[in-house]
Structure 1
């Protein structure tokens, strides 16, 4: 029997039969694909591209104790702290310094204004020894230190917890101070530190007292640089060791 006769017996036209067959084939294909997708779905793995590490920045404000008079650049306390933080997985750019030997609070204020620095993740502030050495009055120091701390907070994007204030070292124990009234120097250093500590606490910023550490230079000359006045790299390392957990708590 011919195909035409068969189609006639089924009362179907050739074109209608072909269309119906195609429809059936399409339905089968769709069912197969949906079934395959549903089976594969639980085994699919979404790959998330790794995020880029956050690289922080540090602005170090101060005087000779910040710029590291008498030691190499990588031995300054901000540089040593940054190196230790890297070991903790916290990346910091090379610290930016606005600091020079001999600067008072007035000098630092002027140079910050002239530099117009960018905002940074971390800001450190250590200033006042030259105010004491130049017999500046403590009232004026309180005013200027307060203004500097406010500026430091601004430069830390307003984050008070990211501004780290260090106390003034006691240079009365150094060979340089041997010809001075060391008892008076010690007393005045305490006066200035009482001021910067109190102001820092008022603004709820972290404060690190390194003065007691520097006084150990009286019996341990390895803590004093070869110039007979400033801290050595070993002393700066002790500051860095104390700063690392403080900064890690903020940045992690």
Structure 2
């Protein structure tokens, strides 16, 4: 009887030790920490998302796509853009913002209003590089965290009505931007060809007959996402 009592006591002590070990192991399990990223998008109507919902514009769609394609991440998006802004307006707009220099990713899409308003091309040649430099500064001083996006072609909208002069001028702006980016090892993503389907695929044009639609911005993001993921 005494031996049985000692055996039961030993089993009970072993049970308590096992429970204590399991409890310690449970307490040592840590919940994965969320990595918070900061995203800055600079531009004009194509960045602010004229005539589409706030979550339909490409910076918002890019943010959501980044979250969906990464684990335990959160993104804080800042947009500095206004419909009608030229490169000059964007420079002034940025100077009026108290932007830190710690963004993990910066996008820049600018120039269509220089073309539309008939500004001298030399203004773009001077101010586009200035804006790229600012984007790099805001991106922790790292040019590898910057993405320059090509200018959409609004000739392929009901408003533009297939005007070939618009297209040739947009090409000149994009060629300058792309050449500058290539010469300085800055990522340049061409989305212009997507917008040149706008007269055939009317779903690519917003209800105002001029700006890209939510669908068009989704296609932009498909192009941008692989580059953005590489930069995080």
Is the TM value for this pair above 0.5? yes
Of 125, 129, 133, 1:146 maps to 129
Establish whether residue 103 from structure 1 lines up as the match of residue 79 from structure 2. Answer: no
What's the counterpart of residue 112 of structure 1? 94
Residue number among 52, 59, 63 corresponding to 1:82 in the alignment: 63
State the alpha-carbon separation in 1 of the partners of residues 114 and 42 from structure 2. Answer: 15
Does residue 1:219 correspond to 2:205, yes or no? no
SS in 2 for 1:192: helix
- Unaligned runs of at least 5 residues, structure 1: 1-43
**1:192-229 superposed Cα distances (whole Å, 9 cap, x missing partner):** 00111111122211111000110011200000000000
Deviation at 1:88, TM superposition (A): 1.1
Aligned-pair Cα RMSD in Å: 1.8
Q: Given the alignment of the two structures, is residue 197 of structure 1 paired with residue 184 of structure 2, yes or no?
A: no
Secondary structure of the equivalent of 2:99?
Answer: coil
What is the aligned counterpart of 2:51 among 70, 88, 95?
70
Partners of 1:217 and 1:94 in 2: how far apart? Answer: 31
| 2:223 pairs with one of 242, 245, 249 | 242
Query: How many angstroms does 1:49 deviate by?
Result: 4.0
1:185 alignment partner in structure 2: 166
Distance in 1 between residues matched to 2:226 and 2:39, nearest whole Å: 16
2:37 is matched with 56
Q: Structure 2, unaligned stretches of length 5 or more? A: 1-23
The 1-side partners of 2:224 and 2:130 are apart by 23
Partner residue of 1:171 out of 129, 136, 154: 154
Please tell me whether Structure 1 or Structure 2 has the larger radius of gyration of its CA atoms: 1
